[in-house]
Amino acid sequence: MSGNASLNRNSTELRVGGLARLSSCDWPGKLAATIFCQGCAWDCAYCHNPGLRPMQAETQIAWPEVLAFLESRLGLLDGVVFSGGEPTLQPALLDAIKTVRNLGFRIGLHTAGMVPARLERLLPCIDWVGFDVKAPFGVYSRITGVNESGTNAIVSLQMLLASGISYEVRTTFHPTLLSLFDMLELRDQLLALSVTRYVVQRFHSAGTRASCLPLLPEQQELGLPPDYGNNFLHFLVR
Q: What is the pLDDT of residues 101-141, one digit of tens each?
A: 999 999 999 999 999 999 999 999 999 999 999 999 999 99
- In this prediction, residue 224 carries a pLDDT of 87
- What angle do the packed helices 63-71 and 93-103 form, to 10 degrees? 20
Q: Mean pLDDT check: name the lowest of 81-95, 152-166, 215-229.
A: 215-229
Average confidence score pLDDT of the chain: 89
Distance set, CA 13 to CA 2, 9, 117, 169 (Å): 19, 9, 20, 29
Bigger pLDDT: 92 vs 174: 92
- In this prediction, residue 120 carries a pLDDT of 97
- In this prediction, residue 204 carries a pLDDT of 66
Residue 37: CA count within 13 A, CB half-sphere = 26
pLDDT at 220 over 70: no
Cross-strand bridge partners of residue 37: 16
Q: What is the pLDDT of residues 18-31, one digit of tens each?
A: 999 999 999 999 99
**Distance separating alpha carbons of residues 69 and 63, to the nearest angstrom:** 10
Q: What is the pLDDT of residues 28-80, one digit of tens each?
A: 999 999 999 999 999 998 888 888 999 888 778 999 999 999 999 999 999 99
pLDDT at 221 over 70: no
**Distance separating alpha carbons of residues 88 and 111, to the nearest angstrom:** 7
**Distance separating alpha carbons of residues 117 and 221, to the nearest angstrom:** 38
- In this prediction, residue 218 carries a pLDDT of 40
pTM: predicted TM-score of the whole model, two decimal places: 0.90
3-state secondary structure of 165: coil
Taking phi over 0 as left and psi of -120 to 50 as alpha, with beta for the rest, 39 belongs to left
Q: Which domains, ranges and CATH numbers included, belong to the chain?
A: 3-203+220-237 (3.20.20.70)
| pLDDT band at residue 209 under the 50/70/90 scheme | low
